[in-house]
Amino acid sequence: METSTMKMKIEKAKTSKIHEVDFDNLAFGTVFTDHMLICKFKNGAWEQPEIVPYQPITLDPSAKIFHYGQSIFEGMKGYKDANDDIWLFRPMDNCKRLNISAKRMAIPELPEAYFIDGLKELIRLDKDWIPKKQGSSLYIRPFIFASGNGFHASPADEYTFVIACAPSGAYFSGKVKVLIEENYSRSANGGVGYAKAGGNYAGQFYPTQLAIDKGYNQVIWTDDNTHEYIEEAGSMNIFVRINDTLITAPTSDRILDGITRKSILEIAKDEGIHTEVRKITVTEVVEAAKSGTLKEMFGAGTAAVISPIVTFGYRNEDYDLPEIQDGYATRLKKRITDIQYNRSEDKFGWRLKVS
Ligand code: COI
């Protein structure tokens, strides 16, 4: 056992699995680093986090996560630059959002220092796992789940916070074709759509599979009330470019306050791109596609960064997006990833060095 600067217990793995990993052919989130952080909430308080070898977690069959889905997560990435320096992107924003999700899901909020210092300690220990290949990074998954027991449908009395990391390549490969969804809903007014709650994602699997069966990759979520407003793209926020204006839906209790989304808005303004944060109707997107003013559509999220959409389907009709050289998606992706990988100046102060 070693002690970190924040007096964190660290139990190192006896052997490393790193030599088993093909870093040139990484999928997304399928291999995991040697260590993980674990921290328990018991008797009304969070205990000190510990770093232990990556391992299975044993739970009682009555643990409330299994029955009531009381669980939340975050998605973030660690990047290595040309000098092997390590960077995180806006980690405080992930920490804040985790606690916003925690509140909504009746999970006790986690002290910021446990999240940030624990994360830095874990990344330092597993730094050799951060890929250097262009387009690859260390995907970091902080999550909290109800590990307390009992069938009573009420919040658990014990919780577990874990950070696990997966060296990862691109989230999507190939062209993304989406279907505008009019029957199923991802979220509703007063619901949990803005929280990164596990169930928000599970609820998408079935409608997404129906779309996949029809030849699409993802669903474009519309509002639950009228299905007339475009809200999210699969597990990402959505951007639409009509003529030279870049538009995204406003965040609400139905829409996730994406860190990539808000970074893109700031970078776009800095690039001199006219942006609008407002409701986007399906009708306006279909009309724009018909008249040729719809130039680009893309999803934005941590895992996929920016994922250009090539076709959208609506009411049995497919609409192809034009092939644009050096479009907004390409320009904005370059700007954001240059900041993330320390290839450019960070004028917004978003990077955090892990040293
Ligand atoms: C992310 O973009 O990091 C997400 O949280 C989406 C996830 C479902 C892969």
pLDDT classification of 134: cutoffs 50, 70, 90: confident
Residue 299 CA to ligand 1 centre (angstroms): 11
Please compute the mean of the pLDDT values over residues 192-205 and round it to a whole number.
97
Q: Which of 28, 171, 172, 255 to mutate to test the pocket of ligand 1 (most atoms within 8 A of CB)?
A: 171
Give buried/exposed letters for 74-93 (b at 16+ CB in 10 A, else e).
bbbbbbbeeeeebbbbbbeb
pLDDT classification of 3: cutoffs 50, 70, 90: very low
Neighbours of 265 (CB within 10 A): 21
Distance CA(137)–CA(125), nearest Å, equals 16
Structure tokens at 187: 């979220």
Residue 301 CA to ligand 1 centre (angstroms): 6
Q: Which pLDDT value is given to residue 5?
A: 56
Q: Which of 200, 235, 340 to mutate to test the pocket of ligand 1 (most atoms within 8 A of CB)?
A: 235
**Which atom from ligand 1 is nearest to the alpha carbon of 303?**
2
Neighbours of 50 (CB within 10 A): 17
Q: Which pLDDT value is given to residue 222?
A: 98
Q: Which pLDDT value is given to residue 49?
A: 97
pLDDT classification of 225: cutoffs 50, 70, 90: very high
Please compute the mean of the pLDDT values over residues 335-345 and round it to a whole number.
97
Contact 340, 205 (CB under 8 A): no
pLDDT classification of 175: cutoffs 50, 70, 90: confident
| pLDDT reading at 2 higher than 90 | no
Q: Which pLDDT value is given to residue 15?
A: 98
Please compute the mean of the pLDDT values over residues 333-338 and round it to a whole number.
97
| Domains delineated in the chain | 2-168 (3.30.470.10), 176-340 (3.20.10.10)
Contact 34, 53 (CB under 8 A): yes
Which tens digit of pLDDT belongs to each residue from 287-322?
999 999 999 999 999 999 999 999 999 999 999 999
| pLDDT reading at 278 higher than 60 | yes
Q: Which of 180, 288, 182 is nearest to 226 (CA)?
A: 182
Distance CA(290)–CA(284), nearest Å, equals 10
Please compute the mean of the pLDDT values over residues 162-188 and round it to a whole number.
95
Span between the terminal Cα atoms of the chain, in Å = 21
**Which residue owns the Cα nearest ligand 1 atom 9?**
303
**Which residue owns the Cα nearest ligand 1 atom 5?**
75
| pLDDT reading at 285 higher than 90 | yes
Per the listing, tokens 């399928």 go with 30
159-168 and 236-242 as β-strands: parallel, antiparallel, unpaired?
unpaired
Residue 27 CA to ligand 1 centre (angstroms): 14
Residue 48 CA to ligand 1 centre (angstroms): 27
Question: How many residues in total does the chain contain?
Answer: 355
Please compute the mean of the pLDDT values over residues 228-252 and round it to a whole number.
97
The percent of residues in the chain predicted with pLDDT above 90, rounded, is 96
Report which residue type is found at 133. Answer: K
Which tens digit of pLDDT belongs to each residue from 49-74?
999 999 999 999 999 999 999 999 99
Residues with CB under 6 A from ligand 1: 75, 201, 235, 301-303
Q: Which pLDDT value is given to residue 4?
A: 52
